[in-house]
């Protein structure tokens, strides 16, 4: 089983890719006056303490967001500047103590007329999300639903104003999640073909992980929609044999974002940001990125 409990991994390289992309999409979509409906199918707790037991155990934020924040903001791509400024807004002072998850970052972008629906099935995370959302609302319309996002998000599609963004990023702890994502996006496109769909996935040694972006691109093509696919690799995914004969697992080496109906500005934004992510977070010679989109 592949385990991805987010409290352990908050602020890692996968979050940097996912949240930089998510913010760039949301900021583009709120430029129109028409209300925007946003759905997060696996919202998590919303905010994460980087000085807590979970995050300190993994230390992944030190190889992710901490490295990004060590750079001179003036040298970074605009999408990264915006993302890092938002993270810093949750950390007054010099110390990095809190990492904002997708719900917290989305609430920084959305306007009072927009709606945010947050699905979280795990009781512990859902309770934390409820408390964190109350602190972050500030007049915005947000709803926390302790339900299965795969099964229940569809009741909000299509949104009344026909403008929507959906983020789908399950833990993929069960390999059946990959098929669930593809089925869910297929059904969502049938209900709301003009929505923007952002899917995060881990890149690991599992055939389902390699097949998922192919399936999503195929669904987009079948629906006659544009797509964008970005991946970020920070290190080798191979097992390491240590001097004492023990085997060290590498942790998550890479992840990807597949967007259906992406903003036309997204490719250029990530084209500038991805090389800088590699330069700052790459850990060995295997570090790199890919970026492809319809028509490119």
Residue in 40, 125, 169, 177 annotated catalytic:
169
For the beta sheet containing 196-203, the strands, ordered from the edge strand earlier in sequence to the opposite edge, are 141-145, 115-119, 37-40, 164-168, 196-203, 254-260, 227-233, 288-293
Question: Catalytic residue at 169?
Answer: yes
Instruction: Characterize the bridge pairing of strands 254-260 and 227-233.
Output: antiparallel
Q: Is 3 annotated as a binding residue?
A: no
Range 71-87 burial, b when 16+ CB lie within 10 A, else e: eeeeebbebbebbbebb
Q: Is 169 annotated as a binding residue?
A: yes
Q: Is 42 annotated as a binding residue?
A: yes
Closest CA to 120 of 102, 143, 103, 145: 145
Q: Is 161 annotated as a binding residue?
A: no
Report how far residue 239's alpha carbon sits from residue 250's, in angstroms, rounded to the nearest whole number. Answer: 6
Q: Is 293 annotated as a binding residue?
A: no
* Largest Cα span, the chain: 62
Known binding-site positions = 19, 42, 102, 120, 148-149, 169
Looking at the annotation, which residues are catalytic?
169
Known binding-site positions for S-adenosyl-L-methionine = 19, 42, 102, 120, 148-149, 169
């Amino acid at each position: 089983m592949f385990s991805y409990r987010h409290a352990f991994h908050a602020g890692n390289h996968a979050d940097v890719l996912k949240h930089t992309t998510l913010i760039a999409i949301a900021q583009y979509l709120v430029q129109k006056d028409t209300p925007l409906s946003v759905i997060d199918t696996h919202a998590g707790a919303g905010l994460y303490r980087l000085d807590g037991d979970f995050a300190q155990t993994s230390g992944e934020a030190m190889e992710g967001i901490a490295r990004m924040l060590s750079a001179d903001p003036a040298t970074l791509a605009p999408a990264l500047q915006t993302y890092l400024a938002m993270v810093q807004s949750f950390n007054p002072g010099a110390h990095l103590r809190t990492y904002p998850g997708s719900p917290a970052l989305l609430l920084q972008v959305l306007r009072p007329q927009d709606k945010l629906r947050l699905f979280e099935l795990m009781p512990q995370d859902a309770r934390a999300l409820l408390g964190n959302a109350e602190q972050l609302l500030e007049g915005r319309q947000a709803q926390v639903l302790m339900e299965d996002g795969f099964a229940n998000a569809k009741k909000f599609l299509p949104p009344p104003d026909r403008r929507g963004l959906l983020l789908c990023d399950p833990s993929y702890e069960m390999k059946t999640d990959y098929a669930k994502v593809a089925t869910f996006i297929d059904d969502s496109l049938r209900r709301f073909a003009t929505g923007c769909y952002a899917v995060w996935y881990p890149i690991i040694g599992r055939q389902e992980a390699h097949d998922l972006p192919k399936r999503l691109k195929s669904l987009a093509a079948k629906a006659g929609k544009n797509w964008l696919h970005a991946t970020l690799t920070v290190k080798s995914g191979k097992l390491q044999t240590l001097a004492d004969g023990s085997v060290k697992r590498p942790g998550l080496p890479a992840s990807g974002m597949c967007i259906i109906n992406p903003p036309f500005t997204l490719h250029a934004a990530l084209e500038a940001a991805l090389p800088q992510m590699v330069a700052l977070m790459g850990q060995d010679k295997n570090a790199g990125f890919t970026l492809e989109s319809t028509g490119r």
